[in-house]
Structure 1
Amino acid sequence: MSLPGKKLSGAENKKRKIEEAAKFNPGLWPQNINQKQRDCLVVHGPRRPTPNYQFPVTDGRRFTEQHFKKKLANGEWMERRWLQYSEDLDAVFCVVCKLFDSSAKKISLKDGGCQDWKHISELHETSHHHRKSCLSWCDTKQNLKSAAGVDSQIQSQIHEETTRWREILRRIIEVVKFLASRNLAFQGSSEKLRTPGNGNFLGSLELVAKFDPVLQGHLDYAKQMSVILRYVSILRDETKICESFLGFLPVEDKTGLGLTEKIVLYLQDHSLKLEDVRGQSYDNGSNMKGKIQGVQRRILDKNQWRN
């Protein structure tokens, strides 16, 4: 693949043309086609020769555009979309079988190409192998379309997120330049937003954010940790397993130690004893489930009960 603005050398340009031509010539396809190649060929689909192409004569016969169609019993004509003509080999191939039929059975339309114009096999297009290959072709094509739609949405989200972070960074850089040009100190006695004495840098960001929704959204964003308790409730003769959401905890220190201290302090503030805990459940983050420094390990060290 060439980059925009980059001029290809003669050899590279020739190689690229050969690769492009090979997409439409089944006779040049490799014997073992990988998934990436197969997907590419399905996306491009079979190609027809140019409208005025002169088909060569072989043994007194020649291929015609009429062979790309099949007459149905009711008199209607149906396109043989699976059929592709190779100009280099003067032969036709069943593209769907060449791509998706994994059987060992030798079929001219799949392997070396067919030149029997009189019998471009109607038996072939009604065979079990061909129909199965057609279904695989249709499924793959639909999946690729769906994936393209999902990829497009993901790319759009990535672009929006990239733009947002660039705008945030641009504002921060302007604040840095402003303070530096006036030899003003950045740091104060506090390193937290919206606290007295947090310095010129954080204070300037807070001021700009009052009039700028982009920076305001960035400063308002806070990391949170949810706290959920599962417990057994015994009331009279009724025993129930319950689950209660206690709330979100703001998180400044995301290390295993910082999160553990936050949880322990929260339990103490709500008169919940750590020694009553009989089990823990966390996500797969290393700071949560780490066997040495994770929250799970630290809670276990504080509690005599084990999971």
Structure 2
Amino acid sequence: MSHDIADYFHENFTEKSREILIRKGPAYLQNKDSDFSDTSKTYTDGDRSVTRYFNKSLFIRKLKNNESVERKWLLFSPSKNSVFCFSCSLFNSSDLNLCSSSGCSDWKHINHIILAHENNPAHRRSMITYLARSKAVGRVDIDLISQHQKEVDYWKNVLKRIVAVVKFLTSRGLPFRGDNEILGSPNNGNYLGCVELLSEFDPFIADHLKNFGNPGKVFLLKGF
């Protein structure tokens, strides 16, 4: 069997081919040790040309707690010189970059594309489908389950704190918004003011503000 995910698109992923690939798992198709020099593309950046490649480091994601986890779902296709998503290729019919038959080879924006993809609800649904099907065929990828659960737990913790602030303000009939939505501003309103106060004593929310307060504004529910 081929180790290249692009070779399976002509089959339109029949139930038989899906089951075979689920049993094999994404590691069978990752091609992490390929020669990526052929992926080079030249882009214009102002007055100069910049060459970009696919980088092996993209197989690793650094979480907000500085822990590094493997992107087990990310696949490299040697024939297409593109990257694909394992679970979305099998179970997602939407037109996301990493699950089309051509994959994605925009190396200039690849970091943003991959991050946006793994935060996309459609990707998360395909991951859940894959994990459920894995159990059905007798394969359980513990690392993928663990990574998915860490993401779920992270956003649950964010939501728990935000709900507490919302309940506090609504119970007292206080307005949420101020004159602006800038972190550190004395006129940013009760909502951001409470969140900033909470961050002084809660390292978790302080770290969240540091990562998602960009630029000067905070997007507390990014990822939901």
Superposition TM-score, scaled by structure 1 size:
0.38
User: Are 1:28 and 2:18 matched, yes or no?
Assistant: no
Larger radius of gyration: 1
Within a 5 Å distance, the mapping from 1:72-111 to structure 2 comes to: 72-102=63-93, 105-111=94-100
- Structure 2 residue corresponding to 1:42, chosen from 15, 22, 28: 22
Is 1:135 the counterpart of 2:128? The answer is yes
How many angstroms does 1:52 deviate by? 6.5
1:109-148 equivalences under 5 Å are 109-111=98-100, 112-117=102-107, 118-119=109-110, 120-145=113-138
How many corresponding residue pairs?
Answer: 123
Shift of 1:37: 0.7
Q: Give the direction of change, closer, same or farther, for the CA distance of 1:32–1:123 in structure 2 (3 Å limit).
A: same
Q: Classify the secondary structure of the residue corresponding to 1:73.
A: coil
Shift of 1:45: 1.8
AA of the residue aligned to 1:27: A
**Alignment partner of 1:121: what SS?**
helix
Amino acid at match of 1:84: L
SS of the aligned residue for 2:76 comes to strand
- Between the two proteins, what is the percent identity of the paired residues? 29
Q: Answer whether contact 1:55 1:64 (CA < 8 A) is retained.
A: no
> Could you give the per-residue CA deviations for residues 167-222 of structure 1, whole angstroms, max 9, x where no partner exists?
xxxxxxxxxxxxxxxxxxxxxxxxxxxxxxxxxxxxxxxxxxxxxxxxxxxxxxxx
How far has the Cα of 1:32 moved from its partner? Answer: 2.3
Q: 2:37 aligns with which of 46, 55, 60?
A: 55
By relative contact order (CA 8 Å, sep 6+), the higher-ranking structure is 2
Q: How far, CA to CA, are the matches of 1:35 and 1:141 in structure 2?
A: 13
Q: Gaps (5+ residues) in structure 1?
A: 1-19, 147-307
Cα distance in 2 for residues equivalent to 1:58 and 1:116: 9
1 CA distance for matches of 2:70 and 2:122? 19
Tell me how far 1:75 sits from its aligned partner: 1.1
Q: CA RMSD in A?
A: 1.8
In structure 1, give the amino acid aligned to 2:137: L
Distance in 2 (alpha carbons) for counterparts of 1:141 and 1:33: 16
AA matched with 1:97: C
Runs of 4+ more than 4 Å apart:
none
Q: Offset of 1:55 from its aligned partner?
A: 3.2
Q: Which runs of 5+ in 2 are unaligned?
A: 43-50, 140-224
Equivalent residue letter for 1:58? K
CA distance in 1, matches of 2:75, 2:36: 16
What SS does the corresponding residue of 1:43 show, helix, strand or coil? helix
Over 3 Å counting, the alpha-carbon distance change for 1:49 and 1:55 in structure 2 is farther
Counterpart amino acid of residue 71 in structure 1: K
Render the CA deviation track for 1:126-165: whole Å, top value 9, x for unaligned.
111100100111111111117xxxxxxxxxxxxxxxxxxx
Q: One-letter code of the match for 2:7? A: L
Aligned-partner Cα distance in 1 for 2:99–2:22: 16
Cα separation, partners in 2 of 1:114 and 1:74, compared to 1, 3 Å = same
What is the CA–CA distance in structure 1 between the aligned matches of 2:127 and 2:76, rounded to whole Å? 18
Distance 1:115 1:76 in 2: 27
Structure-2-length-normalised TM-score: 0.51
Of stretches 28-37 and 106-115 in structure 1, the one that deviates more from structure 2 is: 28-37
One-letter code of the match for 1:93?
A: F
**Which residue of the partner structure matches residue 165 of structure 2?**
none
How far, CA to CA, are the matches of 2:25 and 2:75 in structure 1? 9
